[in-house]
Each structure stands twice: as C-alpha cells, then as structure tokens.
Amino acid sequence: MELEAAGRTVRLSSPDKVFFPERGFTKLDLARYYVAVGPGILRALRGRPTTLERYPDGIEGEWFFQKRAPKGMPDWIPTAHITFPSGRSADEMCPTEEAAVVWAAQYGTLTFHPWPVRADDVDHPDELRIDLDPQPGTDYTDAVRAAHELRAVLDEFGGLRGWPKTSGGRGLHVFVPIEPRWTFTQVRRAAIAVGRELERRMPEQVTIKWWKEERGARVFVDYNQTARDRTIASAYSVRPRPRATVSAPLRWAEVDSARPRDFDLATMPARFAELGDVHAGMDEHAHSLDALLELARRDEHDHGLGDLPYPPEYPKMPGEPKRVRPSRAREDPAS
C-alpha cells in the first residue's frame, strides 16, 4: 500500500506484518505512527547523520544497527559523511523530509539514532546530551530527582536550558542545544563536569562511575553518550519493547507526573495532535559551554580529576586512565 507523508508518497510492503506481538502492532501501525508525529521527529532528525536500529521481522526477530546509508535509498534522501573513532568513515542517512522516516519504517526501522551534529559541520556537536540511566535498584522516579538537580546545575553553569524526554525505558534524557564551537572531546568533557557536579550534590543517588560494579543502586550519568559515534534515541522514536513505548518529549512541569509506559505507539499520536511538538522551540536556542568547561578545568586543577574511561571499542585516548575494571586491577596489578 502507499502512505503520504508531507506531500510525498511512500510505498509500504507487507503492511500486516506484526512487529509487536504483545500489542498486535503491525508495520502499518508503525508507519502511520511516524506519519502522525512526522513534524516532531523530523525536528529531532533534520540535517543530522542518523543510524537506523532495524527489526525487519519485528522485535522478536533479528535486529541490527545500520550506520551506512541503505542500498537503494531514494535520491531525495541526502546523506552526510561521518568519521568513526576507528578512522573509518561512511555516508549516513540524513533526513530532511518526514517521508524519509516513513521510508525507513518500511525497512523495519523502529528507533532513529541521530548524531548530535548537522551535515554542514559533522565535527562540532550542536547538542549536549545528558543520559540519566537508572541502575538496578532504582527507577524512573530516581531519574526524575536527578533531572531536577541537573536542571539546577545547568542553570547555574551558564544559564543553560535543558529539554527533557523519556528514554522509552526507565530513564530520562536531557538535551541542551549548544553553539557548534566545540569538538566531541570538549563536549564529552563538559558532560563529565556535569556528572561530577551532580554526583557531588547527590552522592547517594547519582554516580558517574563507568564500571558497573562501582555504580550501586544509583542513577548513572552516562557521559560516554557524548563521545563520537555514540548516539541516543531521538525524540518520538519507537523503542523495541513489548509495549512499543516511545521516547517522549516532556515539558519540565510534566516530568514528575509522567510515566514512560504512558507514551507508546498508540497514545503518542493523540498527544501530538493535542499539544504538537513540545520541544518545537529547541532549535531557537544555542548555549555556550564556557562555564561547564571552566568547571571541568577546576576539577582537574584543584581536585586532580582528569579524564574517565572511554567505551571498549574506542582506541586508547590521550589522557585516558587505564581501561580496566577495578576488581580486575586489584587481582592483577600489572593490568
């Protein structure tokens, strides 16, 4: 069958294929969802290199991340050339139309993972993304408490405004639009400074420890989500969970009362029809990271707090501490 998205027609094959068995949602339901929230998800993806999280046979089948633009992609969908930490590079899908999202849904894309950069400058992020990830023993309400303190930290260090959204799971994401003046390394350094400040203020509730064995029942500030080629699910993306929950943009006044399970493939279109994109004004702002980078400098100079471990697939980075979990280091000091 064919669907229209903002004036462009997209062909959909096997529309009755079930993608979410628990709820009975089909590929057609997925595509219609993306038509319904098209202006919102395009705002989140527009002009950004985007990795596709694909489930061609639904959430119970095999899945994969597609970083390179799919073969046979229509010529009306542009690409952006990006470089990975390994030094390799690729052309990634770079949506500029709502129909591009529906086209990707045709190929089983549930979740869209945009880079925090635009196609015209792929080396300087224009978003600082803070991932508040509840660890075992904690839940969404713990992430909410951390988010409120995060809001205060952002305001105190540069008057930054964060835009919260559910992760689609138990956590919260807060995105801060920034001027594209800093490298990935500098933006990651700012994220580490934010995490350390939160940890100082809420030591029993928040951690920035990279190694899981050190985190405990706290909310983890995943600073490595700001490293090059690490991405976060976009606003309005459907997550591969039995209930087909979505990453829902929120207003700060809604954060306490919101529950992640309330926002899914069935309920979000009605919310969008009523409220529109509650993050629509996000691109009108562009903050400076100067105050956070000064905080990072003071942490290093006054407290000896330098860099933290990178993800395991990264090459060894300058100034990075040993990338070995603490328990192993104790067992084998030579490591």
- Percent of the chain scoring above 90 in pLDDT: 92
- How high is the pLDDT of residue 289? 98
Token representation of residue 323? 């990338």
Helix (H) or strand (E) holding 30: helix 27-36
Residue 93 confidence class, pLDDT cut points 50, 70, 90: very high
Residue with tokens 């997550």: 239
pLDDT surpasses 70 at 154: yes
Instruction: Count CB neighbours of 227 within 10 A.
Output: 18
Residue 248 confidence class, pLDDT cut points 50, 70, 90: very high
Q: What is the pTM of this model?
A: 0.96
User: In the chain, how long is the greatest CA-to-CA distance?
Assistant: 63
pLDDT surpasses 90 at 173: yes
Shortest CA distance to 67 belongs to which of 27, 101, 112?
A: 112
pLDDT surpasses 90 at 317: no
Of the given ranges (43-52, 148-157, 323-332), which has the lowest mean pLDDT? 323-332
Mean pLDDT, to the nearest integer, of 230-252?
Answer: 98
- How high is the pLDDT of residue 17? 98
Token representation of residue 266? 């069935």
Mean pLDDT, to the nearest integer, of 187-211?
Answer: 98
- How high is the pLDDT of residue 325? 81
pLDDT digits (tens, 9 = 90+) for 263-315: 999 999 999 999 999 999 999 999 999 999 999 999 999 999 999 999 988 99
Helix (H) and strand (E) counts in the chain: 9, 14
Q: Cα separation of 180 and 178, whole Å?
A: 6
Domains along the sequence of the chain with CATH: 2-122+236-247 (3.90.920.10), 127-229+285-303 (3.90.920.10)
Coil, strand, or helix at residue 106?
A: helix
What angle is formed at CA 47 by the lines to CA 45 and CA 51, rounded to 5 degrees? 55
Burial class (CB in 10 A: 0-12, 13-18, 19+), 189: buried
Residue type, 210: W
Residues 6+ apart with CB under 8 A from 236: 34, 37, 40, 41, 44, 246, 247, 248, 249, 268
**22 and 36 Cβ atoms separated by less than 8 Å:** no
Shortest CA distance to 13 belongs to which of 23, 25, 26?
A: 26
- How high is the pLDDT of residue 280? 97
Q: Cα separation of 109 and 93, whole Å?
A: 12
- Percent of the chain scoring above 70 in pLDDT: 98
| Phi, psi angles (nearest 5°) of residue 4 | -105, 130
Q: Cα separation of 285 and 292, whole Å?
A: 17
Instruction: Count CB neighbours of 140 within 10 A.
Output: 21
- How high is the pLDDT of residue 332? 66
- How high is the pLDDT of residue 299? 97
pLDDT digits (tens, 9 = 90+) for 105-152: 999 999 999 999 999 999 999 999 999 999 999 999 999 999 999 999
Mean pLDDT computed over every residue of the chain: 96
Coil, strand, or helix at residue 220?
A: strand
- How high is the pLDDT of residue 331? 65
C-alpha dihedral, 38 to 40 to 50 to 238, nearest 10°: -80
Residue 327 confidence class, pLDDT cut points 50, 70, 90: confident
